[in-house]
A and B are shown apart, each in its own frame.
Chain A
Amino acid sequence: MTMNILPPNSSAIKTRFAVKFIQAMKRLSKRRGMGDRYKRYRATRAAACVSMASAVGPEWAWSRAVLRKIKRRRLLRQFRVSRKRRLIERTTNPRQNLGFGQEEDLRGLVPGGKGMDYCSLLSETAHYITCLQAQVQVMADILHRSSP
């Protein structure tokens, strides 16, 4: 039976993510034009997602999707072009989906989930969950340390 890729080494990912995230935060704090605003929150959130995705690497589909989305958003912000929505064909096997539309919910949650088959969707979800947990731990840790 083909096994999923082994669960990621959490401390390695945490270290990589922490380094990248802190670098991004430094850059963010030095940037001008960021008052006490919603903009800063969005930039911080984007920095968190991007640093996590780049720490994970391109081998996972969800990290590629996150990086694509952020790059697209940056380009759009620069040039203010209206977006074209790409329609991706969904390859759903109706026999597998026994529940109440859970599969599409999952696809909506996991980045890049719309263009995947069910099997890889599940493994991507597993990896995504571990990375999210690591991310939450790191960010909470940073928060605790920086404001005792």
Chain B
Amino acid sequence: MEPNVKAVQPQFRSGISGPKPGGMGFVFDDIHGLIPGPPETDGTSFTALLELPPPQAVELLVMEDFPAKSMPPPIFPSNIALSDRASMFSIFASADNPPDSTNIISASSSMKIDSVKQEPLESEHHRNSSSPAVSNQSLKSIKRKEREKKVKESSKKSKKLEANEASDGSGEQLPYVHVRARRGQATDSHSLAERARREKINARMKLLQDLVPGCNKISGTAMVLDEIINHVQALQRQVEFLSMRLAAVNPRIDFNLDALLAAESESSIDNSYLGMFPPSIWLEGQLNGSRQQQSWLIDGVHPSRVDDTSNFITPDNSLLSYDSPPNSVSLHSSQLKMEL
């Protein structure tokens, strides 16, 4: 193992400058972080890395330079113990971390577990091939295939965690997991927290986009926010409009609460809301679930109406008329189905 290590180390540096000249500067930090790990012979990950022929090991380590290509997860040919420990590390990582970074870590660990599970299969393949030359070539071909398949992000994060094991080299407990930054991004804790926060905000924006009808097609945060603001304003105006009309109607209404509550407890979810009112007010035969859905659909169309008219004193016909543009109705029906 020792001569291997000595042979490999200089070749790392030459290998970097040799076949891949472009943009090497960023990778030096990573490799310098890895190289000082003492070469141990108890089958830890770093030596497993070194078992690979040098150019391929360099390829693995230098992968961050080429965002265009997709990259495979590092394949450790004959070390299944590594993959087991890797999965263990990911579990430890998710357990030990403060809640802020668990988002990143759990996401990466879930992706990593997927990639790690593939490694035992491939390592078995490698074991079956007897001669090292053959195994090298099979490694190359497999790696080439996997480059086309694998996603850059997951492989990068898996590489991060396994590279951490390499630099650690010690027992089975990590105090915390180092999350490697992507190329061109700062690595201090502030920007990491910033990035986590940004991802949270983007997730919430996505939710809002799904909620507001017609926001899916718009790209760009500013316009989506505009749409959201318009939607909220329209809904608030609708509430005011409806309360005005209810206030006008109010003295004549007879709310029968007993019938309300009794009907509510009996009926199913779909109809529970229908059973609110005494039968005298019901229009017979018309207040089924379908019609209620339709009336709810119609109400969902109102934002567009109220926006257009922007006029509270609309005639009664506008509220009670059921002709509506089909696309918004379908949108709202899908929304209803989502909610219910």
Contact present for A137 and B339 (CB under 8 Å): no
Contact present for A41 and B244 (CB under 8 Å): yes
Contacts of B244 in A (CB 8 A): 41, 44-45
Say yes or no: A141-B295 contact (C-beta < 8 A), given A11-B272, A98-B221, A106-B229. yes
Q: What's the Cα separation between A147 and B226 when bound, in Å?
A: 36
Contact present for A132 and B222 (CB under 8 Å): no
The reply on B240 being an interface residue by CB < 8 A is yes
The reply on A87 being an interface residue by CB < 8 A is no
CB-contacts of A43-78 with B (<8 A)? 43-45, 47-49
Contact present for B200 and A11 (CB under 8 Å): no
The reply on A1 being an interface residue by CB < 8 A is yes
Q: Which listed segment binds A: B9-17, B24-32, B50-58, B245-253?
A: B245-253
Q: Which of B221, B225, B249, B319 has the most CB of A within 10 A?
A: B225
Contacts of A145 in B (CB 8 A): 276-277, 281-282
What is the 8 Å Cβ interface bit string for chain A, positions 82-103, against chain B (1 contact, 0 not)? 0000000000000010111011
CB-contacts of B193-244 with A (<8 A)? 197-201, 203-205, 207-208, 211-212, 221-222, 225-226, 228-229, 231-233, 235-236, 238-240, 242-244
Q: What's the Cα separation between A49 and B239 when bound, in Å?
A: 9
Contacts of B68 in A (CB 8 A): none
What is the 8 Å Cβ interface bit string for chain B, positions 242-269, against chain A (1 contact, 0 not)? 1111111111110101001100100001
Say yes or no: A100-B239 contact (C-beta < 8 A), given A44-B247, A126-B204, A143-B319. no
Contact present for A139 and B243 (CB under 8 Å): yes
Contact present for A98 and B222 (CB under 8 Å): yes
Contact present for A136 and B302 (CB under 8 Å): yes
The reply on B283 being an interface residue by CB < 8 A is yes
Contact present for A41 and B243 (CB under 8 Å): yes
Say yes or no: A11-B269 contact (C-beta < 8 A), given A25-B255, A122-B208. yes
Contact present for B221 and A29 (CB under 8 Å): no
Contact present for A99 and B253 (CB under 8 Å): no
Contacts of A105 in B (CB 8 A): 229
Q: What's the Cα separation between A132 and B270 when bound, in Å?
A: 20
Q: Which of B255, B272, B319 has the most CB of A within 10 A?
A: B255
Shortest CB distance B234–A (Å) = 9
Inter-chain contact total with CB atoms closer than 8 Å: 175
CB-contacts of A22-49 with B (<8 A)? 22-23, 25-26, 28-29, 40-41, 43-45, 47-49
Shortest CB distance A2–B (Å) = 6
The reply on B120 being an interface residue by CB < 8 A is no
The reply on B107 being an interface residue by CB < 8 A is yes
The interface on chain B, measured as residues whose beta carbon lies within 8 A of the other chain's beta carbons, has a size of 66
CB-contacts of B78-108 with A (<8 A)? 103, 107
Contact present for A132 and B236 (CB under 8 Å): yes
Contact present for B247 and A43 (CB under 8 Å): yes
Q: Is the interface of B mostly helix, strand, loop or mixed?
A: helix
The reply on B338 being an interface residue by CB < 8 A is yes
Q: What's the Cα separation between A34 and B281 when bound, in Å?
A: 25
Contacts of A109 in B (CB 8 A): 229, 232-233, 236
Q: What's the Cα separation between A128 and B228 when bound, in Å?
A: 11
Closest B residue by C-beta to A129: B211
Contact present for A142 and B222 (CB under 8 Å): no
The reply on B176 being an interface residue by CB < 8 A is no
The reply on B313 being an interface residue by CB < 8 A is no
Q: What's the Cα separation between A47 and B225 when bound, in Å?
A: 29
Q: What's the Cα separation between A145 and B320 when bound, in Å?
A: 11
Q: Which of B199, B257, B283 contacts A148 (CB 8 A)?
A: B283
Q: What's the Cα separation between A147 and B319 when bound, in Å?
A: 12
Contacts of A122 in B (CB 8 A): 201, 204-205, 207-208
Contact present for B261 and A19 (CB under 8 Å): yes
Say yes or no: A129-B231 contact (C-beta < 8 A), given A23-B257, A26-B255. yes
Contact present for B204 and A119 (CB under 8 Å): yes
The reply on A144 being an interface residue by CB < 8 A is yes
Contacts A/B (CB < 8 Å), 5 sampled: A1-B103, A22-B276, A99-B226, A126-B208, A132-B232
Which residues of chain A have a CB within 8 Å of any CB of chain B? Answer: 1-4, 7, 10-11, 14-15, 18-19, 22-23, 25-26, 28-29, 40-41, 43-45, 47-49, 96, 98-100, 102-103, 105-106, 109-110, 118-119, 122-123, 125-126, 128-130, 132-133, 135-148
Task: Give the 4 A-B residue pairs with the shortest CB-CB distance, closest first.
Answer: A99-B222, A122-B204, A132-B235, A44-B247
Other than the given A11-B269, A49-B239, 8 more pairs (CB < 8 A) read A26-B255, A45-B240, A109-B233, A123-B204, A139-B239, A143-B249, A144-B320, A147-B252
